[in-house]
Amino acid sequence: MKKIIVPLKNRSYPIFIDNGALGQLRPLLKKKQAQKIVILTNSTLNKLYGHLLKKQVSKYEVCWITIPDGEKYKNSATLEKIYKQLAQKKIDRKTILITFGGGVVGDIGGFIAATYLRGIPYIQIPTTLLAQVDSSVGGKTGIDLPYGKNLVGAFYQPQAVIIDTKFLKTLPRREYLCGLAEVIKYGLLGNALFFRYIEKNHSLILKKNSQVLKKLIATSCAMKAHIVGHDEKESGLRSLLNLGHTLAHSIETLTNYSRIHHGEAVAMGLGYSALFSLKKGWLTKEEHKRILGLLKKLNLPTQWPKLNRKKYQHVLSLDKKAVGKKINYVALKKIGKAFLIPLTVEEITKFI
Amino acid sequence: MKKIIVPLKNRSYPIFIDNGALGQLRPLLKKKQAQKIVILTNSTLNKLYGHLLKKQVSKYEVCWITIPDGEKYKNSATLEKIYKQLAQKKIDRKTILITFGGGVVGDIGGFIAATYLRGIPYIQIPTTLLAQVDSSVGGKTGIDLPYGKNLVGAFYQPQAVIIDTKFLKTLPRREYLCGLAEVIKYGLLGNALFFRYIEKNHSLILKKNSQVLKKLIATSCAMKAHIVGHDEKESGLRSLLNLGHTLAHSIETLTNYSRIHHGEAVAMGLGYSALFSLKKGWLTKEEHKRILGLLKKLNLPTQWPKLNRKKYQHVLSLDKKAVGKKINYVALKKIGKAFLIPLTVEEITKFI
């Protein structure tokens, strides 16, 4: 069992990572003196693994809430439905909310926890690789608005994160690859050795080798925990985690969060960031080639949708990280070293 | 100018109180290096005092958002409309939101600030007595759901609170009296001398005497600042501020937030708490009489609606402060000393 602590003083919490880590839930609930539990999950997960979760919470009064599967349900309509069920079930502030699913369940569930009764405790059990290495750690919660992704949300830390690699066995290949885009991101932004490790092990990675998976997730989570511990509210360092994401969010908005999945959009964003940094003379041709090569080896797309540049610019101008008229864009100095640079939307989209 | 600090370490902030305190806004915005400003207000306030506020922000790019006046608009529909305008105006994280109005504007505006882009800075300028002595201080933000009051919200502290007693001149008498209910609450729960002061000055209070007003507001805010500084998230001490509010929220829910105003409901709740504490043998008959006498002198109601006890019990069971099956009820040991006692809804409603 790998255990990583997200260091946030009196709000610090552990991340458990292993094949079978779900077994940590029962002792954790006992330690937290849980009385009542709410489980938020989606229909797909519930069918596949609901029975495993049920075993862990058999001692408690449990309210199950199941939402449909998909990013398009990460909206205020779903939020209202969940609030209604919590009110009907008379949920109190001692109730522990468990989010069991991918990024959508985690993000919306975390926001529910942050806002219902002005905050109730919650535990994240992410079941997709993307959620395991990224969205479940660090307390970013939220929903999408019709005008942009994650425009409404809160920083609200969970009590714990339980990452069971077993759930990845049934994860559709496309979703699995999406998670790998975020894993590559960690190597790119701050750990050249890790990037090299991913390159070397790309075929084992595609085979979902257990040991390699654990290493990928633990390294990614440890990097994220370190960054979040230093900059919880994203006033500096944490912004580096947006590598590839500025463009990714635009792509998702322009394609209505449907055709292209988040991880694919991130891969495109990483590809663009590599191109941008090459054109600016920061990255060498060799490095640019390695980055695109790795993305391709892991069957990830590197080319963003060929849409009118103006469309990208319009959506980028809504970016919530915008400061005045400039956006903090994440570029690459080299593999393993990202940096922030404030740019106008015109500058950012120059090479689209 | 009276200045009180809410002591919350790196999130500490000042409350300015005076006739003319609005003049503090301009230097404050300069100090905060404001670039863009959003003003959230209601239609009534905007007509009466919008021009005064406009003068203070004349140097900035301002986005005005006006919502209708009334508690029934403190809901998710209003929230969505505001989010939409913020997205359209491309509000970024450096934008300062100013809430200019009573409790509804402050609560919903605070929640907008807490959640838009996962948090933007805001300044409270409360214009009703109720908001000035209570809801604008302490960072409680939120909206009502059809199932209960303030069921959704966040703890999110403002950058500053500016309390200008000038706005009280045009405040309708009924709303003014509502604020006095909260003022009496502070005396009752923790300051017998202040309670005596209110008794002695009741006729000057009804005449809105400037000096007396400033004293009432400053004492109330200082007590609230002290309590919030010790217990921001309401895990103990802060719960005392709920004196009169457990029943008040039920009354408001049962009357659909329409017929009875919040302060009136609080006065009824104080009356009930006094009766409850008398029946339990904690308060003397003399003290009970003084409490009801003061409420009456200030033209506040003391008798709750005569509804079926079961209805009160049903609504109370949804109370967000409920812990397991008991609710922390605030009772009175004596005038100037409140205490918490966990009770079932049946016990709480025994004397209704």
Known catalytic membership, residue B256: no
Q: Tell whether A129 and A182 lie within a shared domain.
A: no
For the residues of A199-238, what is the DSSP string, one character each?
Answer: HHTHHHHHTT-HHHHHHHHHHHHHHHHHHHHH-TT-SSGG
Q: Tell whether B298 and B322 lie within a shared domain.
A: yes
The closest CB to that of B87, out of A94, A233, A318, belongs to A318
Give A296 to chain B, closest Cα distance, Å. Answer: 33
Q: Which chain A residues touch B324 with a CB distance below 8 Å?
A: 35-36, 92, 94
Q: With an 8 Å Cβ cutoff, is A341 touching chain B?
A: no
Q: With an 8 Å Cβ cutoff, is B77 touching chain A?
A: no
Q: Which chain B residues touch A84 with a CB distance below 8 Å?
A: 145, 147
In whole angstroms, give the CA distance from residue A115 to residue A109: 10
pLDDT at A143 (0 to 100)? 97
For residue B99, give Cα distances in angstroms to B65, B125, B256, B310: 10, 6, 25, 38
Do residues B303 and B252 touch, judged by C-beta distance below 8 A? no
Indicate yes or no: CB of A90 within 8 angstroms of CB of B318. yes
- Bridge partners (DSSP) of residue A329 are A341
B67, two tokens: 């919502």
Indicate yes or no: CB of A145 within 8 angstroms of CB of B87. yes
pLDDT tens, B27-60?
999 999 998 999 999 999 999 999 999 999 999 9
Q: Tell whether A143 and A210 lie within a shared domain.
A: no
**Domain boundary at A170, A190, A207, which?**
A170
**Domain boundary at A150, A170, A190, which?**
A170
H/E run at residue A312? helix A309-316
Buried b (16+ CB within 10 A) or exposed e, B144-160: bbeebbbbbbbbbbbbb
Buried b (16+ CB within 10 A) or exposed e, A118-146: bbbbbbbbbbbbbbbbbbbbbbbbbbbbe
Buried b (16+ CB within 10 A) or exposed e, B185-218: bbbbbbbeebbebbbebbeebbeeeeebbbbbbb
pLDDT at A323 (0 to 100)? 64
Q: Tell whether A157 and A191 lie within a shared domain.
A: no
**pLDDT above 90: percentage of residues in chain B:** 88
pLDDT at B334 (0 to 100)? 97
CATH number of the CATH domain containing A311: 1.20.1090.10
Q: Tell whether A178 and A211 lie within a shared domain.
A: yes
Which domain, by its residues, includes B21? 2-170
Which of A239, A229, A57, A42 has its CA nearest to residue A126?
Answer: A42
Q: Which residue of B has its CA nearest to A141?
A: B118
In whole angstroms, give the CA distance from residue B228 to residue B234: 8
pLDDT tier for residue B97 given thresholds of 50, 70 and 90: very high
Known catalytic membership, residue B182: yes
pLDDT tens, B249-263?
899 889 987 789 999
Do residues A40 and A109 touch, judged by C-beta distance below 8 A? yes
CA B235 to chain centre: 19
Do residues B181 and B270 touch, judged by C-beta distance below 8 A? yes
- Count of beta carbons in the 10 Å neighbourhood of residue B225: 22
B192, two tokens: 């017998």
Which residue is it, tokens 């300062």? B96
End-to-end CA distance of chain A: 44
pLDDT tens, B138-149?
999 999 998 888
At residue B240's C-alpha, the angle toward residues B228 and B182, to 5°, is 85
Most A-contacting residue of B152, B238, B249 (CB-CB within 10 A), to test interface: B152
End-to-end CA distance of chain B: 44
Do residues A111 and A142 touch, judged by C-beta distance below 8 A? yes
In 3-state terms, what secondary structure has residue A45? helix
Interface A-B, measured as beta-carbon pairs within 8 A, has a size of 100
B171, two tokens: 């405040």
Q: Tell whether A228 and A271 lie within a shared domain.
A: yes
Q: Tell whether A162 and A241 lie within a shared domain.
A: no
A243, two tokens: 């590598």
Which of B240, B134, B150, B149 has its CA nearest to residue B182?
Answer: B134
Most A-contacting residue of B117, B147, B242 (CB-CB within 10 A), to test interface: B117
The closest CB to that of B119, out of A88, A151, A155, belongs to A155
pLDDT higher than 80, residue B166: yes
pLDDT tier for residue B322 given thresholds of 50, 70 and 90: low
Q: Which residue of A has its CA nearest to B317?
A: A90
A45, two tokens: 């997960």
Indicate yes or no: CB of B84 within 8 angstroms of CB of A145. yes
In whole angstroms, give the CA distance from residue A100 to residue A66: 10
At residue A58's C-alpha, the angle toward residues A55 and A63, to 5°, is 110
pLDDT at B256 (0 to 100)? 82
In whole angstroms, give the CA distance from residue B326 to residue B310: 16
Q: With an 8 Å Cβ cutoff, is A324 touching chain B?
A: yes
Q: Which chain B residues touch A117 with a CB distance below 8 Å?
A: 151, 153, 320
H/E run at residue B14? strand B13-18
**Domain boundary at A170, A187, A209, which?**
A170
Indicate yes or no: CB of A147 within 8 angstroms of CB of B88. yes
Which of B230, B264, B67, B253 has its CA nearest to residue B147?
Answer: B253
* Options B74, B140, B202, B290, the catalytic residue: B140
- Bridge partners (DSSP) of residue B142 are B153
The closest CB to that of B117, out of A92, A119, A151, belongs to A151
- Detail the DSSP E strand segments found in A88-191: 96-101, 122-126, 140-145, 148-155, 160-164
In whole angstroms, give the CA distance from residue A36 to residue A56: 13
Environment class of A237 (CB within 10 Å of its CB; exposed 0-12, middle 13-18, buried 19+):
middle
A246, two tokens: 């500025």
Q: Tell whether B192 and B84 lie within a shared domain.
A: no
In whole angstroms, give the CA distance from residue A101 to residue B261: 43
- Count of beta carbons in the 10 Å neighbourhood of residue A34: 20
In whole angstroms, give the CA distance from residue B191 to residue B185: 9
Which of B202, B229, B210 has its CA nearest to residue B21?
Answer: B210
CATH number of the CATH domain containing A74: 3.40.50.1970
pLDDT at A325 (0 to 100)? 78
What residue ranges of chain A have pLDDT lower than 70? 319-324
Q: Tell whether A75 and A219 lie within a shared domain.
A: no
Q: With an 8 Å Cβ cutoff, is B94 touching chain A?
A: yes
- Count of beta carbons in the 10 Å neighbourhood of residue B53: 20
Known catalytic membership, residue B238: yes
Indicate yes or no: CB of A142 within 8 angstroms of CB of B116. no
Q: With an 8 Å Cβ cutoff, is B272 touching chain A?
A: no
Known catalytic membership, residue B118: yes
Known catalytic membership, residue B288: no
Give B310 to chain A, closest Cα distance, Å. Answer: 16
In whole angstroms, give the CA distance from residue B258 to residue B144: 13
Q: Which residues of A are catalytic?
A: 118, 140, 182, 224, 234, 238, 242, 245, 249, 262
CA A249 to chain centre: 13
What's the domain count of chain B?
A: 2
At residue A327's C-alpha, the angle toward residues A326 and A328, to 5°, is 125
pLDDT at B149 (0 to 100)? 81
* Options B224, B261, B288, B290, the catalytic residue: B224
For the packed helices B285-297 and B192-200, what is the interaxial angle rounded to 10 degrees? 50
Do residues B330 and B338 touch, judged by C-beta distance below 8 A? yes
In 3-state terms, what secondary structure has residue B222? helix
- The conformation of residue B253, written as its DSSP 8-state character, comes to H
In whole angstroms, give the CA distance from residue A161 to residue A100: 10
Q: Tell whether A70 and A218 lie within a shared domain.
A: no
Q: Tell whether A19 and A89 lie within a shared domain.
A: yes
pLDDT at A320 (0 to 100)? 63
pLDDT at A227 (0 to 100)? 96
Average pLDDT over residues B163-169: 96
Backbone angles phi, psi at A162, to 5 degrees: -115, 115
For residue A21, give Cα distances in angstroms to A2, A105, A110, A351, B263: 9, 19, 20, 44, 51
- Count of beta carbons in the 10 Å neighbourhood of residue A265: 29
Q: Tell whether B166 and B193 lie within a shared domain.
A: no
* Options B202, B238, B261, B288, the catalytic residue: B238
In whole angstroms, give the CA distance from residue A133 to residue A130: 6
Q: With an 8 Å Cβ cutoff, is B110 touching chain A?
A: no
Indicate yes or no: CB of A154 within 8 angstroms of CB of B322. no
Q: Which chain B residues touch A87 with a CB distance below 8 Å?
A: 145, 147-148, 151, 318
